[in-house]
Amino acid sequence: MKIKAIALDMDGTLLTSNHHPSERTKQFLLELEKKGVAIIIATGRAYYSTLPIIKEIGLETGFVICYNGANVFNSKDNSVVFQRNLEEKYVKEMIKISRETKTHLNLYQDDILYCEDITRNEVKYYCDKCSIDAHEKDFDTFQNYSMPKNLLLLPMKNLLK
């Protein structure tokens, strides 16, 4: 049976601890692609944070599964192939929980990361790790609350309480 496609997670799989693929991995993936194997990136990240990695490797295959499966993009033309966002009621409940617990919340809409306070350490760490920028916004000012991903960020010790 011929392999037609492989899907790879980015963090902890495709990328090394320095957040880049190794030269060996790049060459291997390009060889597979030349043989007709579709290379699919599957990640919890935003789409725009995957593009530099795709470019660094030199992939031409095109499909990127983002936001833990909520959106699928074709990187050849940046089109959305599939989209399933969270419903407004769930997003608003996450905002409420975040504010009640004073826990940092990332909201994603139109492939943009929004935070209410971009000066928090959690934001800097997350943005550095994922090579993305955060935009400060009052979460009460969204006109539409349909979003592919929300992420609460807090120290591990707080999770274990």
Catalytic amino acids? 9
Structural contact between residues 147 and 107, judged by C-beta atoms closer than 8 angstroms: yes
Q: Give how far Cα 11 sits from Cα of 22, 32, 35, 112, Å.
A: 13, 20, 25, 19
Quick count: other Cβ atoms within 10 Å of Cβ 83? 13
**53 with 92: CB under 8 angstroms?**
no
For the record, the structure tokens of 8 come out as 């790879």
